[in-house]
Amino acid sequence: MTRDIVSTNITWHEADITRADRARLNGHQSCVIWFTGLSGSGKSTLAHAVENALFEMGCRTYVLDGDNIRHGLNKNLGFSPEDREENIRRIGEVAKLFMEAGVIALTAFISPYRADRDKARALAGDSFIEVHVECDLSLCEERDPKGLYKKARAGEIADFTGISAPYEAPANPELIVDTGIENVEESTSKVLDVLRKRGILP
């Protein structure tokens, strides 16, 4: 359910410094790397590993992490389908702003619905790189770093992705990594390879 637009009498103000100007200053292009997958699949771990590697190369980066965002910007949202949609809509807009600012924005969100991720892709255009962090549900449950699967199985958490709410895997992601068989270094290397092939990195 899309929320109604209530802002009126507003005009977009174009910046004097463009995204291309920022790319020349930074020495690299900007983009949105969208990590999606089940809870416990390793999205945050991989996003931060990629950021660390990019930072060592001198790149401008920032990780937008699901739990962190819900501490502030999206703390008024729950986990109903409607709130999940709004959660991802806001993040898509924020990630786009980071991208326009010349930053390689990395997002680590379950983002379970394909339609919501497609909207985020539309905002970033050709600079959107979707990474499906694939991992068997059984292994995610075995890891269960936050104890959420245990609570979900006990009925203490409603609308939990993979248990009582659906996860729609990407149909055509730019990259699939399987954290059940790959270590974080291997998965990080694959992401960096995509960035090089896409011309994000020099």
Which of these is catalytic: 30, 41, 44, 111? 111
Token pair 């539309």: residue: 122
Active site residue 44: no
- Rounded distance, CA 166 to CA 22, Å? 39
Q: What is the DSSP letter of 93?
A: H
Contact 87, 132 (CB under 8 A): no
Give long-range contacts, CB 8 A cutoff, 24+ apart: 8-15.
Answer: 15/100
- Rounded distance, CA 20 to CA 101, Å? 10
Contact 104, 58 (CB under 8 A): no
Token pair 């699967």: residue: 149
The residues annotated with a catalytic role in the active site are 111
